[in-house]
């Protein structure tokens, strides 16, 4: 939630959630390595972790995106991905929840 509010305040849209499942049969021994990555241990497998993050967050809500939204509404598209940051953030959080 905090990350999406941060991106909204920067006027950014079109970001995505990435979830990666990794089996660390030989986990890194360096404790500093783990501090750099968000990870959640699996409850089923001891060496399995889930890494979670937001990616593709460099798209600015600008005149081109506003034009894309306007054009898609004109041609009758129902689900338009180009949304202003507040609406995009709300839609994203509804999906995640």
Q: What are phi and psi of 22, to 5 degrees?
A: -125, 130
Instruction: Note down the domain range covering 20.
Output: 2-96
86 vs 8, 57, 64, 83, 92, CA distance in Å? 6, 14, 17, 8, 10
- pLDDT by residue (tens digit) across 65-89? 889 889 988 898 877 778 899 999 9
**Cα separation of 23 and 81, whole Å?**
34
- pLDDT by residue (tens digit) across 1-32? 888 999 999 999 988 888 889 888 777 777 67
Instruction: Supply the pTM of this predicted model.
Output: 0.67
Number of domains in the chain: 1
What pLDDT was estimated at residue 25? 79
């Amino acid at each position: 939630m905090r990350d999406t509010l941060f991106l909204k305040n920067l006027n950014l849209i079109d970001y995505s959630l990435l979830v990666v499942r990794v089996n660390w049969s030989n986990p890194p021994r360096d404790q500093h390595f783990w501090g750099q990555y968000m990870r959640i241990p699996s409850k089923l497998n001891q060496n399995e972790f889930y890494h979670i993050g937001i990616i593709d967050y460099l798209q600015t809500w600008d005149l081109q995106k506003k034009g894309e939204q306007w054009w898609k509404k004109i041609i009758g598209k129902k689900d338009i991905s180009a949304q202003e940051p507040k609406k995009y953030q709300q839609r994203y959080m509804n999906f995640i929840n």
